[in-house]
């Protein structure tokens, strides 16, 4: 996993209305190609890292939230629409954060592609990262 040398990560939305501070990733970051991430972001995939909820805080503004499925709450900037976080009811001590919203996204490099079974037919990454039909957990990883 690409671990920042300084464990504090900062980021925010495109318009600057919402900013956050986060601790370092607690598991290997990945690029998700699932249908709900694609639709929430309007992009073919979304890169995520997972941080402890206790080490994550919004430092400017407050994001809007919506429940994208019964166990999932996503946050985004209500002004510019930037997707920011994903929280699952089954993991209350973790928050997934969009790598693209980091001030320096090069500090957290994804190591795999997940939910390739939902990827668009033209979305076939050739970057050498492992690809999983669903999550790495479903692959026994």
**CATH match for 9-139 among 3.40.50.1000, 1.20.140.10, 3.40.50.300, 2.170.150.70:** 2.170.150.70
Contact in structure between 61 and 17 (CB atoms under 8 Å): yes
pLDDT range class, residue 141, cuts 50, 70, 90: very low
For the stretch 40-88, pLDDT in tens is 999 999 999 999 999 999 999 999 999 999 999 999 999 999 999 999 9
Provide the sign of the torsion angle of the four alpha carbons 78, 83, 84, 86, taken in this order.
positive
| pLDDT at residue 135, rounded to an integer | 86
3-state secondary structure of 64: strand
Nearest CA-CA partner of 3 in 129, 108, 136, 117:
108
Q: Where are the domains of the chain?
A: 9-139
| pLDDT at residue 2, rounded to an integer | 47
6's CB contacts (< 8 A; 6+ apart) are none
> How many residues in total does the chain contain?
141
For the stretch 83-140, pLDDT in tens is 999 999 999 999 999 999 999 999 999 999 999 999 999 999 999 999 999 987 755 4
For strand 30-32 and strand 83-88, is the pairing parallel, antiparallel, or unpaired?
A: unpaired
Share above pLDDT 70 across residues of the chain, in percent, rounded to a whole number:
93
Q: Report CA Rg, the chain.
A: 14
| pLDDT at residue 59, rounded to an integer | 98
| Cα 113 from Cα 132, distance rounded (Å) | 6
Q: Which is more confident, 2 or 88?
A: 88
Strands (E) across the chain are located at: 9-12, 19-22, 30-32, 46-52, 56-60, 64-69, 72-76, 83-88, 94-98, 112-114
């Amino acid at each position: 996993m690409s671990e920042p040398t300084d464990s504090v990560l900062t980021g925010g939305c495109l318009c600057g209305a919402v900013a956050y501070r986060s601790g370092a990733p607690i598991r290997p970051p990945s690029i998700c190609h699932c249908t709900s991430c694609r639709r929430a972001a309007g992009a073919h995939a979304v890169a995520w890292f997972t941080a402890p909820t206790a080490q994550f805080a919004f430092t400017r503004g407050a994001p809007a939230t919506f429940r994208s499925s019964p166990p999932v709450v996503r946050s985004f900037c209500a002004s510019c629409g930037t997707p920011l976080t994903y929280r699952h009811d089954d993991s209350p001590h973790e928050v997934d954060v969009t790598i693209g919203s980091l001030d320096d996204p090069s500090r957290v490099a994804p190591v795999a592609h997940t939910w390739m079974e939902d990827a668009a037919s033209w979305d076939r990454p050739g970057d050498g990262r492992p690809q999983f039909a669903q999550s790495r957990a479903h692959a026994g990883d």
